[in-house]
Chains A and B, each alone.
Chain A
Amino acid sequence: MTSLSAKINEVFDEPGCGKNQGKGEKERKKGCTKQLQPGGAAGGCAFDGAKIALQPITDVAHLVHGPIACEGNSWDNRHAASSGSRLYRTGFTTDIGENDVVFGGEKRLLKSIREIIEKYDPPAVFVYQTCVPAMTGDDIDAVCKAAAQKSGKPVVPINAPGFVGPKNLGNKLAGEALLDHVIGTQEPDYTTPHDINIIGEYNLSGELWQIKPLLDELGIRILACISGDARYHEVARSHRARAAMMVCSKAMINVARKMEERYGIPYFEGSFYGIGDMSETLRQIAQLLVQRGAPDELIGRTEAVIAREEARAWSRIASYRERLAGKKVLLITGGVKSWSVVAALQEGGMEVVGTSVKKSTQEDKERIKELMGQDAHMIEDMTPRETYKMLKEARADIMLSGGRSQFIALKAKMPWLDINQERHYAYAGYEGMVALVHEIDRALSNPVWSQVRLPAPWEETSWEQAADAVIAAEAALPPEDERDRELCNCTGLSVGAVEDAIRTHRLTEVPQVTQVIGAAGGCGGCGNRVAALLARVNAGDTPAFDKAA
């Protein structure tokens, strides 16, 4: 087994991950990577994920070893902010050509590292492996080692070629690279009882700086943020922190857990999104630090800051609450943002009418249920027309989502706000919550909506009307036989087909269904529906579930 596949197995067997612990032995072995559906997949690769996780380290030269596609098509496309070096925004790639493919690209890589060190003198070079050199057999570990010996500088191999899996896996492999090669390799000049690490925060649009003033005020030092606005040496010295906060769901849980294991740094999972979550995060940081020996008085001071900041944020939001109360929000995003943003919007007096859970873990889903009640309409996998239908039926006044789905809202002439990585506004902490509410208000109150909804002064069927006609036609049809309804979007399997497979093979778990008949093996969107069907069939019911939906 190669070291890369061993590493992948290791991150898949992450004991800190509740989802992983919930699995059986056999299923755990298969890892968390769902087989991607050809022709039906979207989203980045492992290399993309690794780059997202590490590029925010600002003074490092990030060198992509691969053909031009990997860096040339994608560089400088995120908004991680820096308070110092701008080197991380410089695109470095070996841009390998046919010769390197035939004769190997190791020499070019070694030479590239040397050129970078000569011209830019960074404290470290990170080298990202990609699919093509991984296939031709370039040993980037060996090249990095040789380059480090020659130059006397850390040269860190990031072994996450795109085809090993999705973005999320790349995040974790990037974390492994930090654990293996960076963390604990330097010592801080001094330590304090108030040193923390923040893990999994990328300082997009400067969000870290919405939090940092509060920590500064409390005398809490961010020893290292991994990786937003970080310097190489901060990450290298991060093993001396007293406590750690892990942001953003499970993306870097391996880093948090292994730092606890190796260096005794306890961590908690928190969020900077929403007033309640922000306060809870500050409390947890204070408590963890006190448990680790910081003076008790920190807790009292923290509570005072929380009380003051909450009051200030509420009074600022109050001016919007009147205008926004009762406004309905359709939230389409993944992972941690689902539940953390739900709380935030409710604080603004808005009603969340649906949220996507495609990328969320089971735990995330549970939290959404807690926040929104058991009836939360979690949209697993809406088609554009369904999304439009939801917006249109005035069940939503505004859609918040990532950049890719914006056009459904905009073409339907509905207000839309970007809340994914590509966004340009910062929404963290108390400040960010006020900013988010302000942006929603700015979007909703813009008179442009009444302008763009004016019909053209001639006969024309708009696509909304066309979609309305289809929706009306669907509604007019006699109710479909439940068994004929499509259950799995990727394979096209019907409820009946899956039900028969479950009965014939006496299946009890979703992965078995996938193995036997293929359902829920593609985008994973129908996992919950298959689980519900399993539960009903095995309970002896007829599968007439979800009729209202």
Chain B
Amino acid sequence: MAEIVASRKACTVNPLKMSQPIGGALAFMGVNNCMPLLHGSQGCTSFGLVLFVRHFREAIPLQTTAMSEVATVLGGLENVEQAILTIAKKTKPSMIGICSTGVTEIKGDDVEGYIRLIRQRHPDLGGIALVYVSTPDFEGAFQDGWGKAVTRTIEALVPQAPARIDRQVNVLPGCHLTPGDIDELRDVLESFGLRPLFMPDLSGSLDGHVPQDFTPTTIGGIGTDEIAAMGRSAWTIAIGEQMRDAATALQARGMPFRLFDRLTGLSVCDDFVRFLSDISGRPVPLRLRRQRSQLVDAMLDGHFSFGGKRVAIGAEPDLLWTLGTWLGELGCVLTAAVTTTRSPLLAQLPIGRVLIGDLEDLEAASQDCDLLITHSHGRQMAERLGVPFLRMGIPIFDRLGAGHIVSVGYRGTRDLIFTIGNMFMAETHEPTPDTWRIGGGEGSHAGAPIATH
């Protein structure tokens, strides 16, 4: 049982956390032909835009209500109205997803009320879905914004439906899943003859492809008509604790849900596959059986490298949970765990203390680790500490392929073993005459692996 401790510092140094509104905006980017809109000053949007451009290396649709000081004080009705009209005219979206920010929450803008008023004044906007989610910057973190945006979209767009479509399954992925992860899960679900509806679906919009058309809104992702159709699915699968509220919202529309807190690791994948086999009434396909066998073999081959390794992780709760518990299963010791916001699972992590803090805290706790895992902002501390550094989470701006890192399912787990195992193997050192001398050179560091190839 881990104790959850919030950092007591006044000053956050080298932030791990990012804000709720851009988490919400990213969720909206998984909806087809959607324009995410931040209700705040234009910097709020600009920072998020640059961040996502650098991570995904794609054009990012994201707009702003461009609140000035005066507009902020007087209230943002006019700006929200103008923004919606401008976006409607310029980009003809199916949906505009609106997230509040710190400034507009301080003022207390009643955006739901604004939207009703705007609907009255402009009945021609009828075809465009307007979804608003409250995401103040001074509360929660990125994954909270993502979860809330999905929940609000479901509440706004998914109607109660009496009839179920037998093989249709809703899948609610947390923001720690990459476009590549979603593609992988789609393959798995389809191999059971199921028809998955991913909400949000970044695999269509931000998977780094050369599109068939050029539009300023999102391209790909789940359509608003498909979101409405989610009400008729037979099941909902949620991945990550952050999706519990969204799954519950769907449950209220008449279908059961099953939440998988992670999909990295052998036993959790077994649960997942067993569940899919149950709900589809089909046997596990040969391909998956073979993949499972490959994963088991990779675990056998890799465990030499993983056993006893000290790992420090800085990540949002669901990613931290996924990596921390899984590495524990492979024999690693979790020596530092820093996260951004509260989550019920954190207490069960295999470590004495989980800190809600920043990268300075992580750095202080990572002095003698064998592997550091966090997003790209860990690059400075990894250099200072001289430890191997695996980039996971958002943002990853100094490596290619952030959207295609796959770590779910048998295959994703297998490949993650190879990636991390290779990093451990690269750190082995040739022995020297002083290696085993008491009080000797660098090589005498206890537990330092010695190459035996």
Binding site for B on A (CB under 8 A): 35-48, 63, 66-77, 86, 89-98, 100-101, 107-109, 111-116, 119, 131-132, 134-136, 161-166, 384-385, 388, 403-404, 407-408, 411, 413, 422, 460-463, 466-467, 489-490, 492
Contact = CB atoms under 8 A, between A and B. Distances in A.
Given A69-B47, A463-B213, 15 more contacts: A39-B84, A42-B45, A46-B43, A68-B137, A73-B51, A75-B15, A89-B380, A92-B11, A96-B138, A162-B43, A163-B41, A163-B69, A385-B214, A460-B212, A463-B212
B66 A72 contact: no
Contact of B41 (A95, A109, A162, A408): A162
Contacts of B79: 38
A97 B10 CA distance: 11
B139 A73 contact: no
A117 to B, nearest CB: 10
Contact of B15 (A47, A91, A467): A91
A72 B10 contact: no
B12 interface: yes
Interface string B363-403: 00000000000000100100000000000000001000000
Contacts of B12: 68, 71-72, 91-95
B214 A77 contact: no
Interface string B79-110: 11011111101100000000001110011000
Contact of B87 (A39, A111, A112, A161): A39
A356 to B, nearest CB: 17
Given A44-B43, A63-B11, A463-B214, A163 B72 contact: yes
B286 interface: no
Contact of B107 (A41, A48, A98, A135): A135
B448 to A, nearest CB: 28
A38 B15 contact: no
A101 B42 CA distance: 21
B63 A39 contact: yes
**Which 6 pairs, one residue from A and one from B, show the smallest C-beta to C-beta distance?**
A45-B43, A39-B83, A112-B11, A39-B86, A111-B10, A67-B137
Interface stretch (B16-24, B122-130, B174-182, B197-205): B16-24
Most buried by A among B14, B21, B63, B87: B14
Contact of B212 (A44, A98, A134, A462): A462
A106 B135 CA distance: 23
Contact of B82 (A38, A46, A91): A38
B49 interface: yes
Contacts of B68: 35-36, 163-165
Given A36-B42, A100-B138, A93 B11 contact: yes
A330 B14 CA distance: 38
Nearest to A67: B137
Contacts of B48: 73
B65 A39 contact: yes
Contacts, number: 229
Nearest to B141: A68
Contacts of B397: 77
B103 A37 contact: no
B224 interface: no
Contacts of A413: 210
Interface stretch (B53-61, B240-248, B301-309, B330-338): B53-61
Contacts of B149: none
A404 B19 CA distance: 21
Most buried by A among B11, B71, B213: B11
Given A132-B102, A135-B106, A95 B15 contact: yes
Interface residues of B, number: 69
Contacts of B9: 112, 115
Interface in B1-53: 9-15, 17-19, 21-22, 37, 40-51, 53
A38 B65 contact: yes
Nearest to B359: A91
Contact of B102 (A45, A66, A411): A66
12 contacts: A37-B82, A67-B19, A67-B102, A94-B10, A162-B41, A163-B71, A163-B72, A164-B68, A404-B49, A422-B50, A462-B212, A463-B211
A72 B292 CA distance: 39
B118 to A, nearest CB: 12
A46 B79 CA distance: 19
Contacts of A36: 42, 64, 66, 68
B67 interface: yes
Contacts of A72: 12, 15, 17-19
B342 to A, nearest CB: 12
A44 B14 contact: no
B449 interface: no
B377 A76 contact: yes
B214 A411 contact: yes
Contacts of A48: 43, 46-47
Interface string B350-365: 0000000010000000
Contact of B103 (A68, A71, A73, A131): A131
A6 to B, nearest CB: 14
A19 B107 CA distance: 35
Given A44-B46, A131-B72, A166-B42, A136 B106 contact: yes
Contact of B11 (A116, A388, A462): A116
B254 interface: no
Contacts of B193: none
Contact of B106 (A74, A101, A422, A490): A101
B159 interface: no
Contacts of A385: 214
Contacts of A165: 68
B10 A70 contact: no
B103 A135 contact: yes
Contacts of B103: 131-132, 135, 163
